[in-house]
Amino acid sequence: MSSKTYVISCGGTGGHLAPGIALAEALTNQGHKCHLLISKKKVDARLVEKYTNLDFTPMPGAPFSLKPHKLIRFVVQQLMGMFFAFWFLNRTKPDMIIGFGGFSSSGMILVGFFTGRPIVLHEANRPPGKTIRLLSGFAQRVYLPEGVALKGIPPQTIRHCGFPLRSEMQRTAREKARQELGLDIEGKLLLLIGGSQGALSFNHWVNEHFDQLCKEHINVYCITGMMKNQASLLEKTSPSGRKIKAYFVPFSDQMPLVFSAADLAISRAGAGTIAELTRFRLPSILVPYPHSSDNHQQGNARFLERQGGAVVLDQQHIDRLYQEVMDMIFNDWFLEQLRSNLARLDEQDSLSLILKDMQTIRLVPEYAD
């Protein structure tokens, strides 16, 4: 198989960036060249630090908003993004452009289409986001979650598959994971994940309920988000004399160990996080972010709940969260049922399906071998 060059536009959130990295790793291992375009947000810069073998380039872009000052910024940044795209495509001359949605993808996809490059899009959310809906007519292929459709798109353009995960996302035995993280081997561990941006309501919830969690011998590991807090530790002594700890961590490069160490997660419902919870067979209480675009987190969460892989609790009922935790974390039979359902959902190798299918996409003569 001859070497090709790919431009992968995947910036803006961890849910767009992580699958772009996964695909780039796999393509690079096959001998291809990949250029990953990310946003200029701090979260993107932090997420890519460890992937020194991949080529990342920040590009202009800003999210859409109807507020006048934000709308002006959106228009200006999108125009700058399109000028950047012309320059970048002329320099790299890719055989194919792959977009994972988000505000930073639109300029590159439009310019790529009008300069004759084959376009591939991937959407992991239910329902698909605005960017994918608007750009899908320009694509030779659109990868969507099972059961999701796009109006007006020829059926032969659509393939159904899941969320491609990075190669490092592999399970470790619980005891070993806790040992490597420096956590207590014994007892229950509750993990809270607010997504790449964090969730203030989760951070507050831990502080408010830590006394109760301590009495039940439940340790806590809370991913606070980089913009929320510095790393910190709460430590209390339970009535039986055991030391119970709550770790507050803005960001972790060791998420495979963190997922492997936990017994139960409280999480937002981004597509990437759900894919990771599924891979690690980690039962969860999903609290969808109520202001997500197109309410996609609600759709993601309800799908996993229908498949028997999680329990969903709406943000407006977060006062019930402690009782939900207590109903689940000591119920080993129920947790095992959830793990079994998650294992069934993880049978498909989405990354391999995408790689295989991409080989069937016809390249225009100028960019073909």
Instruction: Identify the pLDDT of residue 151.
Output: 86
CATH topology for the 174-345 domain = Rossmann fold (3.40.50)
Long-range contacts of 153-160 (CB under 8 A, 24+ apart): 159/353, 159/354, 159/357
According to DSSP, the β-strands at 243-249 and 232-237 are antiparallel
The kind and range of the H/E element at 247 are strand 243-249
C-alpha 43/C-alpha 10 separation (Å) is 13
Which structure tokens are listed for 90? 């002329």
pLDDT at 336: 97
pLDDT score recorded for residue 366: 57
Q: What is the CATH code for 5-162+348-358?
A: 3.40.50.2000
pLDDT digits (tens, 9 = 90+) for 31-74: 999 999 998 888 888 889 999 999 999 988 777 777 888 778 77
What's the pLDDT score for residue 367? 52
Strands (E), 74-212: 96-99, 119-122, 141-144, 158-160, 188-193
In this prediction, residue 309 carries a pLDDT of 96
Q: What is the pLDDT, as a whole number, of residue 369?
A: 44
CA distance 33 to 63: 29
Would 5-162+348-358 and 174-345 be classified into the same CATH topology? Answer: yes
**Residue 296 corresponds to which tokens in the numbers above?**
């996609």
207, 181 in Cβ contact below 8 A? no
Could you report the average pLDDT of every consecutive run of 10 residues in the chain (369 residues)?
89 85 96 93 85 92 76 82 92 95 83 94 89 90 91 90 93 96 94 77 93 96 77 91 93 94 96 95 96 89 96 95 97 97 92 94 62
Distance of CA 233 to the CA centre of its chain: 26
d(CA 212, CA 223): 20
Residue 229 confidence (pLDDT): 61
Ordered by start, the domain boundaries in the chain are 5-162+348-358, 174-345
